[in-house]
Amino acid sequence: MNIENVSVNRRNILRGAVAAAVLIPFSTTLASCAAGGGGGGGGGAKGEVSADNPFGLATDTKIDAVVFDGGYGTDYAEFAAKILEKNHEGVTAKVSASTQIGQELQPRFVGGNPPDLVDNSGAGNIGFNTILDQLEDLTDVIDANNLEGDKIRDTLYGGVMEPGTFGDKFAALNYVMTIYGLWYSKSLFDENGWEAPTTWADLKDLGAKAKEQDKYLFLWGKEAATYYQTLAIGSAIKQGGDEVRLALENLEDGCWSKPAVQDVFNAMKEIIDAGYIKPGGSGTQFTQAQSQWSLDQSAILYPSGSWIENEMKDQTKDGFDMVGIPEPSVDGNGKMPAEAIHSEAGEPFIVPSQGKNVAGGKELLRVMLSKESATNFAKEKLAPPIVSGVVPEDGFGSTALVSQTNMLDAAGENVFTFRFVNLYGMNQDQLPIWNSFLDGKMSVGDLTKKLQGLTDNIRNDDSVDKIEVK
C-alpha cells in the first residue's frame, strides 16, 4: 500500500499519457461494438396461412415468451402454451418468468434477438416510448378469430385497445382488466351501518364516523403513496372530463392547476388535516400498511387497483368480504356519471418485430384470448381478463371479483384511463412528494408546484419522446 512512494515525475506522466493515447482508439472500437447489434430475427420462417393458423406459424419452430412474474404469476401463460403445442405439431413454446423485464431484456433488445412475446409489466418494465418502433402492430391479432371461431375483437370489454395504442400504433395487448377504486370490507360496513361514499363530502363524513370507532378512514405505505395520486386524478377526470384528462396526458402547462384537480386536492387536504389518515405511512412498508387495512382493519378504505385482493390473499381477515366502488367524484355534478370507472387493461403483452418467431408470438396471444385460457385465468387469479363473459355469477366465490364485474357492467362505455405516469416513468419521482403531502407536511400549493415541476421538466426535455394522447 505504499502508493505514496511512487514518485510522480515527468517520465511517469509521459508514460501515462502514452498509455492513454493508446487506449483511446481501442476504447472507441470497443464502444462501437457493444451497442452495434447483430441483425438476426425479423419474422423467421413462414408457414402455411389457414383458418387454424392465421399468422402462418411454421411447423417445428420454437416460441420464446418472457412473462412478468408478479401478482399473476406465469402459469396462465404456460397453460396457453400447452394448448398451442397440442394444436401445432412440433412447435415448442417456452415460457420464462422474469421479475425485472427491463433489466433482463435490455441486452436482447439491443442485440436484436428479443423474445417472441413479452409481458412488459412490473416496476422494472421497459418504457414504451423507448421501444415503440421495435414492436409489431397487434391489430391483426384482435381481428383474428379465437380458437372457438369468434372474432376476438367482439369478445373483449370496451376500452381495452386504448392503453396499448401509442400514437396510431396498437403495440401492446393488455391482458387483464384492472379497475381502480376504493376497496373496503362489506361486512364491516354493514355491521356499522355505513354507506359506501360517492363524493368527497361523503368521504369526510365517513372519516368522522370511523373516528368514533377509533378507526381511520385511509392509510398508506411508503412505496404506494401514489395510489392517492391515482385516486385524485381519477376523481378530477370524473369531474372535469376529457379536458382534464388530456391536459395531464399531454403534460400541458398548468395542468395540475385545473379547477377539478385543485378541488380534489383541497378535499384531500381537509381529510388529512382532520386526522382521518393513519399517520406514519411514509415510514411503513406498503404491504405492511395494506395488512393493517385488510387484517387489523385500523383503516376502513383503501384506494388501489383490483390486484389488491390477490396481493393480500394471505393477509385478509376471515369474513372480510372485500368489495370495490368507483373513485368518488367531487360533488356529483361532474362531466361523467357516478358509475364511470377508471379502468384499464394491464399486463401489456408485446411482440417485438425483431423476434425470431413473430407469428409464434401472435399465435400464443391468440390462444390466450380464447375462452378456455381466459376462463382459466379468471378462475386461478380471481381477476377478470379482457375477454368478457368468462366470470360466472358467483365469481368463483370471490366478492371482489363479483363487484369488479358489476362495476364494469354498470360503467358500460363510461370507462377512462390515463397513462402519463407510466409512459414517462414518473412514479418514483412522485412518491416522495405524495409521502410528504399525506404526512400533512405540504400545502396544496406546494403539492401542485412540485407535480407541475416534474411535468414541466419532461415536457421541456427534448431527449424524451412524447406520445400525444387524443
Residue 9 in contact with another protein, rule: CB under 8 A: no
Amino acid of residue 269: K
Distance set, CA 48 to CA 2, 53, 418 (Å): 72, 7, 40
- Of 332, 302, 340, nearest to 417 by C-alpha is 340
Phi, psi of 146 (to 5 degrees): -80, -175
Alpha carbon distance 393, 372 (integer Å)? 17
Residue 4 in contact with another protein, rule: CB under 8 A: yes
Nearer to another protein, 174 or 284 (CB): 284
Residue 465 CB, nearest distance to another protein (Å)? 9
Residue 425 CB, nearest distance to another protein (Å)? 4
Residue 460 in contact with another protein, rule: CB under 8 A: no
Alpha carbon distance 196, 136 (integer Å)? 44
DSSP 91: -
Residue 146 CB, nearest distance to another protein (Å)? 31
Residue 180 CB, nearest distance to another protein (Å)? 20
Answer whether 175's CB lies under 8 Å from 165's CB: no
Residue 25 CB, nearest distance to another protein (Å)? 10
Q: Which residues 6+ apart lie within 8 Å of 3 measured at CB?
A: none
Alpha carbon distance 418, 120 (integer Å)? 18
Task: Pick one of 28, 213, 266, 287: the residue that binds another protein (CB under 8 A).
Answer: 28
Residues 221-260 that bind another protein (CB under 8 A): 222-223
Task: Pick one of 134, 139, 262, 414: the residue that binds another protein (CB under 8 A).
Answer: 134
Give the residue carrying C-alpha cell 511512487: 6
Residue 133 in contact with another protein, rule: CB under 8 A: yes
Residue 30 in contact with another protein, rule: CB under 8 A: yes
Nearer to another protein, 57 or 442 (CB): 442
Q: Are strands 169-170 and 302-305 parallel, antiparallel or unpaired?
A: unpaired
Residue 282 in contact with another protein, rule: CB under 8 A: yes
Nearer to another protein, 259 or 440 (CB): 440
Residues 425-444 that bind another protein (CB under 8 A): 425, 428-429, 431-433, 435-436, 439, 441
Residue 320 in contact with another protein, rule: CB under 8 A: no
Q: Which stretch binds another protein (CB under 8 A): 41-49, 57-65, 207-215, 422-430?
A: 422-430
Q: Total residues at the site for another protein (CB under 8 A)?
A: 59
Residue 288 in contact with another protein, rule: CB under 8 A: yes
Residue 275 CB, nearest distance to another protein (Å)? 12
**What does the DSSP assignment read for 4-26?**
GGS---HHHHHHHHHHHHHHHHH
The alpha carbon of 412 is separated from its chain's Cα centroid by a whole number of angstroms, namely 22
Residues 331-370 that bind another protein (CB under 8 A): none
Residue 199 in contact with another protein, rule: CB under 8 A: no
Answer whether 252's CB lies under 8 Å from 270's CB: no
Nearer to another protein, 54 or 127 (CB): 127
For the stretch 312-315, contacts whose Cβ atoms lie closer than 8 Å and that sit 24 or more positions apart, written own/partner, are 312/287, 315/287, 315/290, 315/291
Nearer to another protein, 125 or 343 (CB): 125
Residue 279 in contact with another protein, rule: CB under 8 A: yes
Q: Which stretch binds another protein (CB under 8 A): 63-71, 104-112, 248-256, 305-313?
A: 104-112
How close are the terminal C-alpha atoms of the chain, in Å? 64
Say what angle helices 242-249 and 259-273 make with each other, to 10 degrees: 90
Nearer to another protein, 136 or 363 (CB): 136
Say what angle helices 358-368 and 75-87 make with each other, to 10 degrees: 110
| SS3 (DSSP) at 396 | helix
Residue 421 in contact with another protein, rule: CB under 8 A: no
Helix (H) / strand (E) containing 151 = none
User: Which residues in this chain contact another protein in the complex, by CB under 8 A?
Assistant: 1-7, 23, 26-28, 30-31, 34-37, 100, 102-103, 106, 109-110, 112, 123-127, 129-131, 133-134, 222-223, 279-285, 288, 292, 424-425, 428-429, 431-433, 435-436, 439, 441, 461, 463-464
